Amino acid sequence: MFTETGQTNNELRDFVTQERKKSLSDREWKFRLAGYGYDVRKSSDCLKLVTLRHKVELCDLPLDRPEAS
């Protein structure tokens, strides 16, 4: 499935994961994503990546923080 920006869910997950690895905290990570027009909403079993402008759900994200490389 393609999103409004033409990216697939896997491409979005990879991008968001890389941004999370660069961030020192979840707060910084969410701030970085907001700069790209995205927000993260917590669901009962996962996180949801949504657009800031229209609140459209784009993909699910894992709850756990990836290992920094």
How is the chain split into domains, by residue range?
A: 9-61
pLDDT of amino acid 17? 93
Q: Please give the model's pTM, rounded to 2 decimal places.
A: 0.81
pLDDT of amino acid 44? 86
For the record, the structure tokens of 3 come out as 């999103």
pLDDT of amino acid 8? 86
pLDDT of amino acid 6? 62
How confident is the model over 7-62, as pLDDT tens digits?
788 899 999 999 999 999 999 999 999 999 999 999 888 999 999 999 999 999 98
What is the largest distance, in Å, between two alpha-carbon atoms of the chain? 33
Alpha carbons 19 and 1: distance in angstroms, whole number: 22
